[in-house]
Amino acid sequence: MGWKLEYDGKKYKNVVEMGKNIPLLTSVLVQWTDDADWIAANAAANCYDTNITYGGKLAEKIVLHCVESGHNTVYEHNLFTFFKKVPIFVARQDLRARHASFDERSLRYCRADNESLTYYLPDYLSETVIERTDDKKKQQFLKDMREEWIELHERTIRFYSKYTDEELNEIWNEFDLNGERVRETVRATLPLGINTMYMDSRNAASWIHHSAKRLCLRAQKEIRLIAYQQIKQLKEVAPIIFGGVNRPCMMSKGCTEARKCGVTSLEETGRWEVKFYEKIMKPKLYDKK
Ligand SMILES: Cc1cc2nc3c(=O)[nH]c(=O)nc-3n(C[C@H](O)[C@H](O)[C@H](O)COP(=O)(O)OP(=O)(O)OC[C@H]3O[C@@H](n4cnc5c(N)ncnc54)[C@H](O)[C@@H]3O)c2cc1C
């Protein structure tokens, strides 16, 4: 197995240190099966006594064949682990894909008064986006919303930090209340936009399924950004297994969702998006003739 506790060129001693320093809405590949493509090729080769060689074309071909045909077991013999720092509403969506092992930071045992509790602010409430708006009425509305958003989150974090402070342990004892019981309940006041951190391990088949679902344009933008980050890193360590992972419409040559995204559609071969095809591919094909 390979492993690395590194983000943006900076190495970390452990995930606790890493979690404090990486930005919210980040997923970092921290462990992976080395040569997962080769292991998958061997799993397939064993079935038919295929004589493959490391790095050879035949090895690549049989893995591609298995991925395209959905012969999952061949690429289930490997493991990829991400360490994530995301808002709770993103984690809730992420944890829905069930073939995984998770371990999440506990707000029952971990302290929040050391600035470890950060919260999410959507892109349309960033100062840069608001300042760029020409419409004065819209600008003021978004400014007010931003202010309320920040105030709301900071107030709940202050409330949580105040009542989970270890210095209160004596008071809880005096009142015949259990400090741990108070801490585990006070976290109920925190909004869904605060961060959570967890390790998420899956085999390649599970990552392919989960990634395709969340790369779909019908998925919420924030979980889609996480899926993009993950698949990019997975393609680096296992380019053959993950090379073809894309939005589900691109992978199955057409949208399978009952409610379409309305943002994109594929031309009739199912290989290209209409806009891309009309602008880039069709003129090129035409030139050739
Ligand atoms: C765009 C989008 C919108 C969504 N909106 C909502 C929503 O509004 N509300 C909501 O609740 N969820 C929503 N979800 C979550 C969605 O319903 C699934 O729960 C989630 O995507 C996990 O899919 P899955 O079960 O295929 O994946 P996994 O849990 O990873 O399972 C993979 C596959 O394993 C098999 N499998 C797993 N467990 C079982 C089992 N118990 N029995 C039989 N087969 C099993 C199935 O074939 C499954 O497809 C949304 C997902 C997306 C991508």
Query: Is the beta carbon of 219 within 6 A of some atom in ligand 1?
Result: yes
Residue type, 217: L
Is the shortest distance between the CB of 212 and ligand 1 below 6 Å?
Answer: no
Helix (H) or strand (E) holding 42: helix 36-48
Q: Is the dihedral of CA 16, 21, 26, 31 positive or negative?
A: negative
Q: Kindly state if the Cβ of 260 falls inside 6 Å of ligand 1.
A: no
* Cβ of 96 below 6 Å from ligand 1: yes
The gap between the terminal CA atoms of the chain, to the nearest Å, is 50
pLDDT for res 165: 84
Ligand 1: does its nearest atom lie under 6 Å from the Cβ of 259?
A: no
CA of 272 to the centre of ligand 1 (A): 27
Rounded Cα distance, 263 and 20, in Å: 36
CB 247 within 8 A of CB 215: yes
pLDDT tens sequence across 136-175: 999 999 999 999 999 999 999 999 988 988 888 889 999 9
10 Å CB burial of residue 49 (0-12, 13-18, 19+) is exposed
Closest CA to 80 of 193, 199, 201, 197: 201
Whether 215 lines ligand 1, by a CB cut-off of 6 Å, is no
Category of 277 on φ-ψ map: left (φ > 0), alpha (ψ -120 to 50) or beta? alpha
Nearest CA to ligand 1 atom 3: 219
Cα 76 to ligand 1 centre (Å): 19
Residues in the chain: 289
Name the stretches of the chain with pLDDT < 50.
none
Domains of the chain, residue spans? 1-107+195-246, 109-189, 251-289
Q: What is the pLDDT of residue 107?
A: 82
E strand segments, 54-109: 80-87, 101-104
Q: What is the pLDDT of residue 283?
A: 75
Rounded to 5°, angle at Cα 276 from 273 and 278: 100
Å from CA of 138 to ligand 1 middle: 38
Cα distance between residue 197 and residue 87, in whole Å: 9
Q: What pLDDT was estimated at residue 88?
A: 96
CATH for 1-107+195-246 (3.40.50.620, 3.30.1360.170, 1.10.510.10, 2.40.128.50)? 3.30.1360.170
Q: What is the pLDDT, as a whole number, of residue 229?
A: 97
**So what's the pLDDT on residue 140?**
97
37/177 Cα distance (integer angstroms)? 55
Among protein residues, the one whose CA lies closest to atom 39 of ligand 1: 98
- Ligand 1 atom with the shortest distance to the CA of 220: 1
Joined together, the tokens standing for residue 66 give 């298995």
